[in-house]
Amino acid sequence: MATSGQWIAGARPRTLPNAVVPVMVGTGVAIGEGGFVWWRAILALLVALSLQIGVNYANDYSDGIRGTDDQRVGPMRLVGSRAATPRQVLTAALGSFAVAAVLGLVLVVVTQAWWILLVGAACIAAGWFYTGGKHPYGYRGLGEVAVFVFFGVVPVVGTAFVQTESLSWAALVASIPVGLLSCSMLVVNNLRDVGTDGQAGKRTLAVLLGAERTRALYVACQVVPFLVALAMIPITPWAALALLAAPLAVAPIRAVLGKAVGPALIAVLQQTGKLQMAYGLLFAVGLAFIF
């Protein structure tokens, strides 16, 4: 039976910036537009965290029962390592999704925006079918597209909306760098596993592109967010704050371009998460001064 520490590790806390950063940036937009509501921001954060944890457990379950984690290079997986049974991990995944659904329903009720139910259902479905079901889209090179949408556009725009109760162009633009930084986490993760994924028949984008093109994609996902911040300076000079995170991009980019492989990319994943958090916080502060 898995220990509490193994369950925490199975939740993959290093991926949680994917949930935290979009909410910070969306809240920055809400503050800038004069619509900040603190308790709605907290609810949005809890929804995002629950979804991310649910996705992680769901991926653990689906990859585990397929055997694609048997030769895994990265951190331990609960099912793949036999630390927990598939049923236990599935229960954890569904429980996390249920928490996200209940908290999300509260936001639906207070905003009276019932279309959010469809968005929430799409988020849960995207999380499950990434590696779940008979035809997981994560095995067909579409994982990065889904991450950009569901860990970039949707949570940033959604977080701003549930507070201001209006759709914002500023939130949509701000979601671009957030989505790209979230993609960079998946890109480096799949670059690390490109060999074992290919052998297991898991055709991620990294497998389809090959290692060299995947390295170039990673660099693009790191660089473009800073170009977006530069482009927003005429709108709000405070967007330049995000540029202060640029030094954190140097080490991971250098490692990726330096042909780091396998376990060496675990450190890159950690560095990418730190960059994502720093950029998100600084960018959110800058966006708070848009208007």
Q: Residue-wise over 27-65: b if at least 16 C-beta within 10 A, else e?
A: bbbbbbbebbbeebbebbbbbbbbbbbbbbbbbbbbbbb
227 Cβ contact list (under 8 Å, min separation 6): none
Helices 154-164 and 169-192, axial angle in degrees (round to 10): 150
Q: What is the pLDDT of residue 245?
A: 98
Q: Which CATH code for domain 4-287? A: 1.10.600
Q: Which single residue is written with the structure tokens 């907290």? A: 42
Average pLDDT over residues 12-16: 89
pLDDT tens sequence across 74-102: 567 898 888 889 999 999 999 999 999 99
**26-40, 108-122, 128-142: the lowest-pLDDT one:** 128-142
Between 263 and 186, residue with greater pLDDT: 186
Q: What is the DSSP letter of 170?
A: H
* Cα 46 from Cα 18, distance rounded (Å): 13
Report the b/e string of 151-186 with b at 16+ CB within 10 A. bbbbbbbbbbbbbbeeebebbebbbbbbbbbbbbbb
d(CA 188, CA 139): 16
Report the C-alpha gap between 284 and 41 in whole angstroms. 13
Q: What pLDDT sits at residue 72?
A: 56
pLDDT at 185 (0 to 100): 93
Q: Flag whether pLDDT at 291 surpasses 70.
A: no
Residue 73: the pLDDT is 58
- 222-251 tens-digit pLDDT: 999 999 999 999 888 999 999 999 999 999
Q: What distance in Å separates the CA atoms of residue 156 and residue 174, rounded to the nearest whole number? A: 7
- The rounded distance, in Å, linking the Cα atoms of 210 and 49 is 31
What pLDDT shows up at residue 281?
Answer: 97
| Predicted local confidence at residue 109, as pLDDT | 97
Amino acid of residue 67: G
Q: Kindly state the percentage of the chain with pLDDT values over 70.
A: 97
DSSP 54-74: HHHHHHHHHHHHHTTTTT--S
Where does the chain have alpha helices with state H?
4-10, 17-32, 38-66, 86-111, 116-129, 143-148, 154-164, 169-192, 194-199, 205-209, 211-231, 247-257, 264-287
